[in-house]
């Protein structure tokens, strides 16, 4: 069954029930409004911070966009990019793409203009839908990407180089376009990157999306009465695939803009949220705010909150111990996955296994797992090897990259590049990563990109970027910088130089020292990690 059938089903069964809510706590609330009321308002989107739509309206919006795409010549298998911040329009647009038989291509909102252009061309995107936050970036490359492509704009004040989504869809039919779809039809392309930072386009079928929904619902037992709080960006497979568990049963979801502890707790309280997926930094911030007295749990209605789960990065055992002190009745789960395995859930701890906190867990619903050595044979229990997974959620391929596909897909198994070990009870623990990617606050940082940028500084002879442990973010990037003889450069100078980088890519720690390289010229990063990721460095950093 294609995932679009679930939307039609929810429309039939729960048409007048609320499907999605959007909240922006940074904007003062005047009153709550429905989608219909919002559309009749004067163009002033900052007047209200809360919007909601029913399943009927969700489906109608998806149908209108699907019919718009078909009227513009989009055919089955064509690609439509989405470059939006989380908003009420995001998911209806996504499902409109699928209903048209097209392939949805979500883009990371942190991409620079050059990265947007690269991904649009790599994925053969025919139409790009973007929001007001990206006008400047799109304008920089509009002349290059607009050839043979259409640009649709979602928001007020449509730029001259794009067409207005709202006015165009208003004239389209709200009836289903009637495009026949099967599990074997292609549904989406998500982007991932190797340690070099060059994005790969990950192609998935409808089968993958449906499996993700079933996995999530099986793991966390969502019912129609559950309310899911979605904070991470929807371009991320983690956010969307966790939401699919609620989507499968017609449950309400709340899209929250903002990650401050008081924002999260207020949303849980006012919207009666029962399930919240967090990243480590957000959970850490909530606990720190409670301990400082900045927030008081007694000020919020939290008794209905039954499940907190975490994904996207390793979870410190101490964090969950603290969490259970403040929230003793919460179920807890952690989820492991990759965009290549349609996001979270191919391995998960399980709410019944909190005694094994520290492990990523056991194979998820419908998944098989093995740990292998270099020749692909399984290692003995207790021996470190590479984690490989197999199941209906494995990607079809890296789009237009046979070589990369062949490297990670072997006889139906996805080789993750993560080193792991299995204990005597069958629980899997991550040991290290083959790749040098740094995971900071759930976001991937690619050292080579930062190293290449820093090498533009005339004072720098050599540079290596590694990840060091961080209490709040899991990891932060540290730049080991070797200066040219006679050159003088301070930490402040480097920080100023890095202002051209996106904030999340700027090194958080600067270390002036020699950069060791092996006889073949490769940086000896294991040696650097041993030198600078020691307990002493972590302790000093956490005190700071």
Q: Domain residue spans in the chain?
A: 4-258, 307-433, 438-543
- Which class is domain 307-433? mainly beta
- Residue 336, H or E segment: strand 331-338
Write b or e for each residue in 352-367: b if 16 or more Cβ atoms lie within 10 A of its Cβ, otherwise e: ebeebbbbbbbbbeeb
Are the C-beta atoms of residues 338 and 264 closer than 8 Å to each other?
no
Among residues 18, 4, 127, which one has the least CA distance to residue 73? 127
Nearest to 107 by CA among 201, 242, 230, 239: 201
Helical pair 55-71 and 90-99, crossing angle rounded to 10 deg: 50
Domain 438-543: which CATH class? Answer: alpha beta
Largest CA distance in the chain: 74
CA distance 360 to 264: 25
| Torsion, Cα of 208, 214, 218, 223 (10° steps) | 140
Alpha carbon of 141 to those of 113, 138, 168, 177, 190: distances in Å?
7, 5, 23, 32, 21
Q: Tally Cβ neighbours within 10 Å of residue 488.
A: 7
Do β-strands 368-372 and 33-34 pair in parallel, antiparallel, or remain unpaired? unpaired
Report how far residue 65's alpha carbon sits from residue 148's, in angstroms, rounded to the nearest whole number: 20
**Tens of each residue's pLDDT in the chain, 544 residues:** 899 999 999 999 999 999 999 999 876 544 444 444 444 444 444 444 899 999 999 999 999 999 999 999 999 999 999 999 999 999 999 999 999 999 999 999 988 899 899 999 999 999 999 999 999 999 999 988 887 789 999 999 999 999 999 999 999 999 999 999 999 999 999 998 543 457 899 999 999 999 999 999 999 999 999 999 999 999 988 888 999 999 999 999 999 998 999 999 999 999 999 999 998 878 888 998 999 899 999 999 999 999 999 877 667 788 898 999 999 999 999 999 999 999 889 999 999 999 999 899 999 999 999 999 988 999 999 998 899 999 999 999 999 999 999 999 999 999 998 888 899 999 999 876 666 778 888 777 878 778 878 988 989 988 999 998 888 888 899 999 999 888 999 999 999 999 999 888 899 999 999 988 754 456 788 788 888 865 445 455 555 5
What is this structure's pTM? 0.82
Helices (H), 72-105: 90-99
| CATH no., domain 4-258 | 3.40.50.12780
- The C-alpha atoms of residue 492 and residue 507 are separated, in whole angstroms, by 12
Residue 484 falls in which region: left (phi positive, over 0), alpha (psi -120 to 50) or beta: beta
């Amino acid at each position: 069954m294609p995932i679009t059938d679930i939307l039609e089903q929810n429309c039939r069964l729960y048409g007048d029930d609320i499907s999605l809510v959007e909240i922006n706590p940074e904007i003062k609330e005047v009153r709550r409004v429905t989608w219909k009321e919002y559309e009749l308002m004067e163009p002033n989107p900052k007047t209200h911070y809360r919007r909601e739509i029913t399943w009927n309206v969700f489906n109608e919006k998806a149908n209108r966009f699907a019919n718009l795409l078909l009227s513009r010549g989009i055919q089955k298998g064509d690609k439509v990019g989405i470059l939006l911040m989380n908003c009420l329009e995001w998911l209806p647009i996504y499902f409109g793409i699928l209903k048209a038989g097209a392939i949805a291509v979500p883009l990371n909102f942190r991409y620079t203009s050059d990265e947007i252009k690269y991904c649009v061309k790599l994925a053969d995107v025919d139409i790009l839908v973007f929001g007001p936050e990206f006008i400047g970036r799109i304008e920089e490359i509009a002349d290059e990407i607009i050839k043979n492509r259409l640009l649709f704009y979602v928001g007020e004040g449509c730029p001259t180089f794009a067409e207005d989504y709202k006015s165009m869809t208003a004239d389209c039919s709200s009836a289903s376009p009637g495009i026949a779809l099967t599990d074997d039809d292609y549904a989406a392309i998500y982007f991932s990157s190797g340690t070099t930072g060059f994005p790969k386009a990950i192609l998935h079928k409808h089968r993958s999306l449906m499996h993700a929904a079933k996995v999530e619902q099986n793991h966390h037992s969502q019912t129609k009465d559950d309310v899911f709080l979605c904070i991470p960006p929807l371009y991320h497979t983690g956010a969307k695939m966790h939401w699919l568990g609620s989507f499968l049963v017609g449950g309400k979801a709340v899209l929250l803009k903002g990650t401050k502890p008081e924002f999260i707790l207020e949303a849980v309280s006012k919207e009666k949220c029962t399930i919240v997926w967090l990243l480590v930094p957000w959970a850490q911030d909530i606990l720190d705010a409670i301990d400082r007295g900045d927030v008081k749990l007694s000020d919020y209605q939290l008794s209905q909150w039954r499940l907190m789960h975490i994904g996207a990065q390793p979870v410190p055992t101490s964090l969950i111990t603290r969490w259970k002190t403040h929230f003793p009745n919460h179920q807890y789960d952690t989820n492991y996955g990759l965009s290549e395995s349609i996001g979270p859930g191919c391995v998960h701890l399980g709410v019944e296994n909190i005694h094994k906190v520290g492990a990523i867990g056991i194979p998820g619903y419908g998944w098989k797992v093995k740990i292998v050595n270099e020749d692909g044979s399984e290692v003995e229990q207790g021996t470190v090897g590479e984690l490989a997974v197999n199941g209906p959620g494995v990607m079809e391929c890296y789009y237009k990259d046979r070589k990369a596909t062949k490297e990670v897909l072997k006889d139906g198994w996805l080789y993750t590049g993560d080193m792991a070990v299995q204990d005597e009870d069958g629980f899997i623990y991550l040991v290290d990563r083959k790749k040098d990617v740094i995971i900071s606050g759930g976001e991937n940082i690619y050292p080579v990109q930062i190293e290449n940028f820093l090498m533009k500084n005339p004072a720098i002879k050599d540079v290596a970027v590694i990840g060091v442990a961080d209490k709040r973010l899991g990891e932060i990037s540290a730049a080991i910088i070797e200066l040219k003889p006679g050159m003088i450069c301070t930490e402040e100078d480097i920080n100023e130089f890095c202002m051209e980088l996106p904030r999340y890519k700027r090194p958080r720690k600067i270390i002036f020292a020699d950069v060791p390289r092996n006889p073949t010229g490769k940086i000896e990063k294991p040696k650097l990690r041993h030198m600078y990721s020691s307990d002493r460095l972590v302790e000093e950093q956490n005190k700071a």
